[in-house]
């Protein structure tokens, strides 16, 4: 079983920053594309960012491009989401996920999921 454990969520004022971490155990980390998704109550889960295993090609939702940065440390089996210039509309539960496809923005393509971490941005 592949286990993803997320951390780093919290409460931050608009314009502030947070860094989310997702540590993976199980199969070899760098064989998976890693993604971040988010979901607010009453809304569908939406794509945020993804990164391939190596050399680390990235993809971002338009709403976060230029503000968020996804990265990975394969030696530590950890993927990160650095979130800068946070806005109240970024408030959601953030999930990391692992996919066996090259890269995808579709939640259905991600086989393994973390438990989620709450990010709340106040105005």
- The 3-class secondary structure across the chain, one letter per residue, is CCEEEEECCEEEECCCCEEEEEEEECCCHHHCEEEEEEECCCCCCEEEEEECCCCCCEEECCCCECCEEEEEEHHHCEEEEEECCCCHHHCEEEEEEEECCCCCCCHHHEEEECCCEEEEEEC
Region 74-89: mean pLDDT is 93
What is the model's pLDDT at position 109?
93
Is the confidence at residue 112, as pLDDT, over 80? yes
- Whether the CB-CB separation of 34 and 21 falls below 8 Å is answered with no
Q: Which one is predicted more confidently, 110 or 31?
A: 110
Is the confidence at residue 114, as pLDDT, over 70? yes
Burial of 109-122, coded b for 16+ CB within 10 Å and e otherwise, reads bbebbbebbebebe
Lowest mean pLDDT among 29-33, 64-68, 99-103, 116-120: 29-33
Region 39-63: mean pLDDT is 91
Percentage of the chain beyond pLDDT 70 is 93
What's the chain's average pLDDT? 91
């Amino acid at each position: 079983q592949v286990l993803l454990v997320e951390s780093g969520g919290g409460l931050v004022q608009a314009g502030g920053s947070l860094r989310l971490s997702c540590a993976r155990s199980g199969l070899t980390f760098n064989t998976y594309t890693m993604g971040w998704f988010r979901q607010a109550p009453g809304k569908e889960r939406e794509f945020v960012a993804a990164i391939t295993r190596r050399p680390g090609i990235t993809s971002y939702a338009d709403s976060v491009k230029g503000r968020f940065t996804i990265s990975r440390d394969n030696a530590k089996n950890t993927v990160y989401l650095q979130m800068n210039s946070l806005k109240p509309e970024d408030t959601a539960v953030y999930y990391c996920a692992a996919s066996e496809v090259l890269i995808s923005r579709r939640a259905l393509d991600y086989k393994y999921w973390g438990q989620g971490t709450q990010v709340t941005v106040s105005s």
